[in-house]
Chain A
Amino acid sequence: MKKCIIIPAFNEGKNIGSVIQGIREYSNADIIVINDGSKDATARCVREAGGYVISHPFNMRYGVALQTGYKFALKHNYDLLLQMDGDGQHLPGSIPRFFEMLESGQCDVLVGSRFLGAGGYHPGMLKIMGITLFKILIRIMNGERITDPTSGYQCMNRKVFSIFTDDSFPCDYPDTNVIIRLHRMGFVVKELPVDMRPNPEGRSMHRGTLKIIYYFFTMFLSIFITMISDKDYYRKNGVRP
């Protein structure tokens, strides 16, 4: 099976080289870094570390960078895709297990859960509250237990990432809404215990009160739209597996 690892990166020149080297210790999958309009030497660092780099002409944020990776993987006929962060938060030791589980066909999407792992990463109180709220939402809507719905450390098969290449993919914040949507589409979503550590520079996508409010608003709106529109969408696109 043709496998790739996509890494969205914005100004990760300091970390991306070591992230790629770390991955190489565990996997021979193609490493594709989506350089999201970085102002630093991210692209050069990726090339020097032996990764393949796709550079956005300007910054378009995390979700769009992920989607560029999905589009590239679809175009180049990859069967399995693993996505992880470029800041070193996601430890690469779990990569072989991700691919093994997907190859065995046990699931369509595998979400790396920091709460099932050794427990090296303890998020702040606000983040825990947000995660708990989304866990409850998934439980109510999907009837399944997902312990880390905001994890960006995920692996998926071609059927899944091909769906993410169209404009219905929530590029703003692809989190809980995507998990709910995939479940409603009939895909099997499972979790894998992984180890994560905090961002080495303390950076986060959800920093600042306004950003957090906007995140929650976007997430609830996206989930609501998923609830009311998916049946029509699936019928139109015929994507139910």
Chain B
Amino acid sequence: MTFSQRIFGILVVFVIFYTIILLVKKGRLKEEYSWMWLLTGLILLVVVLRYDFLVLISRLIGAASPTNALFIFGIIFLIFLSLHFAIKISLLTYEVKNLAQKIAILEAEYEQNKPGASRRHNQIL
């Protein structure tokens, strides 16, 4: 890895760190989701500072070159990230559904119990 490549890599890592910390500080990113981005930055930093690690891993997994290994790990990371968000969206969908159902039932009960509502609504309870 050339000196300029290394400087560029370190700059990218610091931009990632800075952006994540800023987003958490402003409350636009929850701490819960920030750790994986910080970890990604840290792994990138290790790769930039110790390129021989990447070469070693490339040999271990049988990749033709360290760049290939980097791409493979990048794609695997993105797949797991998508899966993580799909799980989160599913949980949120359940929560929104349950909340909306609860609100609907409570609103119906409230409408019925409101003074003067008996003439307008069917009394069933």
Contacts and interface: CB of A to CB of B under 8 A. Distances in A.
B120 interface: yes
A58 B105 contact: no
Contacts, number: 50
B97 A51 contact: no
B108 interface: yes
Interface in B87-121: 94, 97-98, 100-101, 103-105, 107-108, 112, 120-121
A54 B97 contact: no
A60 interface: yes
Contact of B97 (A50, A72, A171): A171
Contact of B101 (A32, A47, A68): A68
Contacts of A30: 122, 124
Given A32-B124, A47-B121, A47-B122, A58 B100 contact: yes
Given A57-B100, A58-B100, A167-B94, A68 B105 contact: yes
Interface residues of A, number: 25
Contacts of B97: 60, 64, 171
B125 interface: yes
Contacts of B105: 54, 68, 71-72, 75
B101 A64 contact: yes
The main secondary structure of chain A at its interface with chain B is mixed
Which interface residue of A50, A54, A71 has the most chain B CB atoms within 10 A? Answer: A54
B104 A51 contact: no
A52 B104 contact: no
Nearest to A63: B97
A21 to B, nearest CB: 13
A67 interface: yes
Nearest to A54: B108
B120 A52 contact: no
A171 B94 CA distance: 10
A68 B102 CA distance: 8
Interface string A120-151: 00000000000000000000000000000000
A53 interface: yes
Nearest to A20: B122
A38 interface: no
A30 B121 CA distance: 12
A226 interface: no
A71 B125 CA distance: 15
B114 to A, nearest CB: 13
A56 interface: yes
A71 B107 contact: no
Interface of B: 94, 97-98, 100-101, 103-105, 107-108, 112, 120-122, 124-125
Given A31-B122, A57-B103, A68-B101, 10 more contacts: A30-B122, A47-B122, A52-B122, A54-B105, A55-B107, A56-B100, A71-B101, A72-B108, A75-B105, A76-B124
26 contacts: A4-B124, A34-B104, A47-B121, A47-B122, A51-B122, A52-B112, A52-B121, A52-B122, A52-B124, A53-B108, A53-B121, A55-B104, A55-B108, A56-B100, A60-B97, A60-B100, A64-B97, A68-B101, A68-B105, A71-B105, A72-B105, A72-B108, A75-B105, A76-B124, A76-B125, A171-B97
